[in-house]
Amino acid sequence: GQNIDQPTEMTATEGAIVQINCTYQTSGFNGLFWYQQHAGEAPTFLSYNVLDGLEEKGRFSSFLSRSKGYSYLLLKELQMKDSASYLCAVSDNFNKFYFGSGTKLNVKP
Amino acid sequence: DVKVTQSSRYLVKRTGEKVFLECVQDMDHENMFWYRQDPGLGLRLIYFSYDVKMKEKGDIPEGYSVSREKKERFSLILESASTNQTSMYLCASSPDVTSYEQYFGPGTRLTVT
């Protein structure tokens, strides 16, 4: 089966750094993804990791350790507009995507 | 920009009705997906299609069927709607099997009474 865990909710301060963790157990692995979803809107793609290590894209970075079944999304210089849900997802060998339940990030002034 | 559109933002149907949810993408993508999103459960894959007239079951196909007669259109059908199918339904597309980015539509909030 597929199991993807991430914290339900986090709070951080504007300008700070926040790390959102994701652990997974899947029967196959073809990549790990992070999506951002603002309330009432569709998810939008943030990052993709297939090899171990850190991928950096502006203020956002994503890390993957396949041996540990672990990933994190790092958000730097937090802005109020970063308040959203962050979804961790894994694709298996058959191009199926499995999503975690999402982490709601609240950014406070 | 890739555009994925869904036929309705909000829909209210009665138990037992047959319900059609339509999704159209304008970027010639091979793959299309239907998810439902429920609080605390995240997005769950119902069905996906990697080509016209092809379909694969996701995690929760029971009570649903799909149709893909044209490349740009992927329909989700609730044969006999039930109250436990009240949910947010999201359609997505991606270019091909090697692509990792999915583009989502705005969603349809379906209420079954």
Contacts of A38 (CB under 8 A, 6+ apart): A83, A84, A85
pLDDT of residue B53: 87
DSSP annotation of A71 reads E
Within 8 A of A4 by CB-CB distance, chain B residues are 42
Query: What's residue B98's pLDDT?
Result: 64
Which residues make beta-bridge pairs with B108? B89
A43 contacts in chain B (CB < 8 Å): 43, 90, 102, 104
**Cα-based distances in Å from B33 to A16, A28, B30, B77, B79:** 36, 19, 10, 13, 18
Res. A9: pLDDT tops 70:
yes
Cβ-based neighbour number of residue B47 at 10 Å: 23
In degrees, rounded to 5, the angle at the alpha carbon of residue A60 between the alpha carbons of residues A46 and A24 is 60
Please tell me the distance in Å from A6's CA to the nearest CA on chain B.
11
**CB within 8 A of A26, min separation 6: which ones?**
A2, A3, A4, A90, A92, A98
Contact B77/A at CB under 8 A? no
pLDDT of residue A95: 72
Q: What is the pLDDT of residue A1?
A: 60
Distances A103 to A20, A60, A88, B61 between C-alpha atoms, Å? 8, 15, 9, 26
Tens digit of each residue's pLDDT, chain B (113 residues): 668 999 999 999 999 999 999 999 999 999 999 999 998 888 999 999 988 989 999 989 999 999 999 999 999 999 999 999 999 999 999 887 666 788 999 999 999 99
Average pLDDT of the segment spanning A39-59: 93
Average pLDDT, rounded, for chain A: 93
Q: Tell me, what's the pLDDT at B2? A: 66
Please state, in angstroms and rounded to a whole number, the distance separating the CA atoms of residues B104 and B82.
25
Considering only residues A26 and B19, tell me which one the structure prediction assigns the higher pLDDT: B19
B64 to chain A nearest CA, in Å? 18
Residues 6+ apart with CB under 8 A from A56: none
